[in-house]
Amino acid sequence: MHSLIFYGKLTTLCPAAASIPTQRSVADLRTTLMNTFPVLNNEPFLLATAGKMLQADDSLIGNEDISIMPPFSGG
């Protein structure tokens, strides 16, 4: 299972915390998230785990805590 933590405005659209079955790739994770939380189909979001931003071609081991956050900019 992956533990999910939503941040920013996504906390008003999704539960603050949830879990989903294990996914082996970030691409599969994104698909599962959008199927589980359809509101994400209309919202841009970034994924991170262990302090690292995730890319679509990254692999997962299956028990990561996944942060789901809206895009941000520095300044």
Domains annotated for the chain, with CATH where assigned, are 2-69 (3.10.20.30)
The pLDDT of residue 27 is above 70: yes
Q: How many CA atoms lie within 13 A of 9 on its CB side?
A: 9
Note the pLDDT of residue 31.
95
What is the chain's alpha carbon radius of gyration, rounded to the nearest angstrom? 11
Single-letter residue type at 32: T
Which pLDDT band, with edges at 50, 70 and 90, does 63 fall under?
confident
Note the pLDDT of residue 75.
58
